[in-house]
Structure formats: structure tokens, C-alpha cells
A = this chain, B = another copy of it.
Amino acid sequence: MASAATINDVAKMAGVSIKTVSRVVNREPNVRQHTRDTVLKAIDALNYKPSMAARGLAGGRSFLIGLMFDNASDSFLVDLQRGILRACRERHYGLALCPASRAADRTADLMEWVKSTQPDGIVLTPPLSDDRTLVEQLLQIGVKFVSVSSAGTGLGPAVYIDETHAARAMAEHLIEAGYRDIGFVRGPAEHACSELRYQGFVEAMQSAGIQVNPDWVVTGAFDFDSGVEVAKKLLAQSSRPNAIFASNDDMAAGIMHEAYRIGMKIPADLAVAGFDDTPMSRQFWPGLSTVRQPIEQIGQQATELLMRTVSPVSLATNDENKNPSPDSNMILPYDLVLRPSTEPAA
């Protein structure tokens, strides 16, 4: 293995000090254009790649973004990773994964990971982004983080969509399609979005002057199996809804599966709506109406936000702007994706 070129080799070839090479690599100001060009040429010639490890050790940065997740859905995770990686690529950052353990001392485990990996910033996904204990510890040891797909605890920046508004839009769509006996499946309490989505549903119902039937509001675990379970509950009732709005696609899939099992037709006998636009929602028969969050974009924006606050060089002009602006939250637009599963009943 031809050992890779070091900064020393580049410096020698360009006839400058290693510090100047370092400056060029880090895009620092105050390097004459001519010098910069010479160095860049040498870097190119030697195919030089700075060593992350050394940069990290010397500079106190790791050039790593951490992604913390717990039990997230496959497509959510992958989409998010895609977005984060896209943002990382430009700045030559790496992405390190940190899955939450199922252990009781989950928070301690996560903090340990943070200490040993020392990422420059962390992307927090629900439900971790809604976990006040975790967030406070993160804040305490001074690690930058950003919550995604959730407004978070309000203690740090976040990138998300207007969940309530989106849920309301979907509920309104159901109502407009002629459904009035609408059931709702909430998510688990530790997810802040569970409440928000439910609120949107309630708002739409109230605006339309429809009573929310408490017997038709149930809670699932955001997974397929719990969708099957709640469907059994909901559809076994003597008076049952003719539409169900599940607060995520996995549960909606479980509902459709169960509905089919007991011989119901969708949407003829039961309309179903989901939330998240997982690939499955398109692949199911019939296609599932859902709300699309721009997950990949959320990941990218969150990462860029993170890297901005860890900016290597404090830009000359604004010195007092040390902490990220308190309200650096970003709200991204969602899409209402309408498919046959919510078409007007015959």
C-alpha cells in the first residue's frame, strides 16, 4: 500500500509551510491567491487527503455528525441518512450512527457514545428529540444538536413540518370525500407528534361540525402490528367508522391488512389514510393516502444548520453571535399525497 501523502509532502512540493497548506485546506482567509493555487496544485498532484483523525485531535473537532435514533422506521432512517450524507459530503464530514439501546439506562448509553465518539454535532430523531432528560444532558456537556421531524423540546434548534396543519389537511380531505364516521389512531405518547397530529384531526372535525367519537380514537405503537390490533378493536365494534386516519403509514398498513382479512373492501367499506409516505404506501393496493414529509431535505437542512454553528472560522464581522440564534427552527412544507384508499365512498 503506497502510504498516502501527508500535509508535509504537500508543503514541500508547494514550497510553503505546512501551516499554509492547512490554511488552504480549511479555506481560511488571508492566503494570497497565487499561494493558494500553488498549494491546490500540489494537493491535486499528490492526491492528498487530510487525515480526519489528526485534524480531530489537533483541532478539537471530529468532523463527524452523529445520528441518534431509536426504533425509527426503515425508510425514515434511510431517507434521513441520505439527506445528512448529502450535506456531509460537501464539507467532508462523516456520519456516525448511534442506535439507542433498549436498556433501562438508555440515556447513559447514549451519553457514553457521545463522549467517546465526540461528534461535532448530533441529529436527534423522534422520540429521542422529545426526550427532555437526554436533551438536557446533551446541553450540559455542550454538544451541538438539532432535532428533526419534531419541534423538539424547545431547548435546541429543530427542523420539521407543521404536523398539526398537515394532519388537519388530511382530515379535511377525508371529510370532503364524504366521510364523517372517522376513527383516529394516535401514536405513542413519547412521540410529541402524536399529540400534534391528533390536534390537527380534532381541529378539522370541529371546523366541519362533526363530533369526534371517543370510541373511535385509539392508540397504537407506530408499527404494523399495532395497526392490526387497533383495527381489530375498531372494526369489531357494533357501530364502526367508515374511515380511519392512522397517524403513521405502518399502522395504516396494519389496518388495511386486517380490513382485507375480514373481507372488507378499501375504500368501499373503509377508507384509510396514513402519514409519512413510506414507499409501502405507494406499493399497497390500493395506494394509501398519506402525508409526505421531505425527510431527506429535513436531514440535509438539519446537518447544514449543525455545521453552520460549528463553523471552523468565526466570520470576522459578527463576533457576538456566538450561540445559534435561539429560534433557528426551520419549518418545511409537507405534501398531501392522495391515493385511492380515501376516494369517496361509492
A97 at interface, CB cutoff 8 A:
yes
Q: How many residues of A contact B (CB 8 A)?
A: 49
With a CB–CB cut-off of 8 A, which chain B residues contact A161?
none
B1 touches A283 (CB 8 A): no
A51 touches B118 (CB 8 A): yes
A99 touches B116 (CB 8 A): no
Indicate whether A52 sits within 8 Å of B1 (C-beta atoms), given known contacts A82-B99, A97-B95, A279-B74.
no
Indicate whether A283 sits within 8 Å of B254 (C-beta atoms), given known contacts A49-B116, A57-B57, A142-B1.
yes
A202 at interface, CB cutoff 8 A:
no
With a CB–CB cut-off of 8 A, which chain B residues contact A279?
74, 224, 280
- Give chain B nearest CB distance to A21 CB in angstroms: 15
A54 touches B51 (CB 8 A): no
- The winner among A64, A140, A253, A285 for most chain B CB atoms within 10 A is A285
A257 touches B280 (CB 8 A): no
- Give chain B nearest CB distance to A96 CB in angstroms: 5
Q: Using an 8 Å CB-CB cutoff, how does the interface string of A114-135 with B read, 1 for contact, 0 for none?
A: 0111100000000000000000
- Main secondary structure on chain A at its contact with chain B? helix
Q: Using an 8 Å CB-CB cutoff, how does the interface string of A257-294 with B read, 1 for contact, 0 for none?
A: 10011000000000000000001101111100000000
A85 at interface, CB cutoff 8 A:
yes
A112 at interface, CB cutoff 8 A:
yes
Indicate whether A94 sits within 8 Å of B96 (C-beta atoms), given known contacts A53-B62, A62-B52, A78-B74.
yes
With a CB–CB cut-off of 8 A, which chain B residues contact A47?
115
B52 touches A54 (CB 8 A): no
A92 at interface, CB cutoff 8 A:
yes
A256 at interface, CB cutoff 8 A:
yes
CB interface residues, A 42-63, toward B, < 8 Å: 47, 49-54, 56-57, 62
A104 at interface, CB cutoff 8 A:
no
11 A/B residue pairs, CB under 8 Å, sorted by A = A2-B141, A53-B53, A64-B94, A74-B74, A92-B116, A94-B117, A97-B97, A224-B282, A254-B283, A260-B285, A280-B283
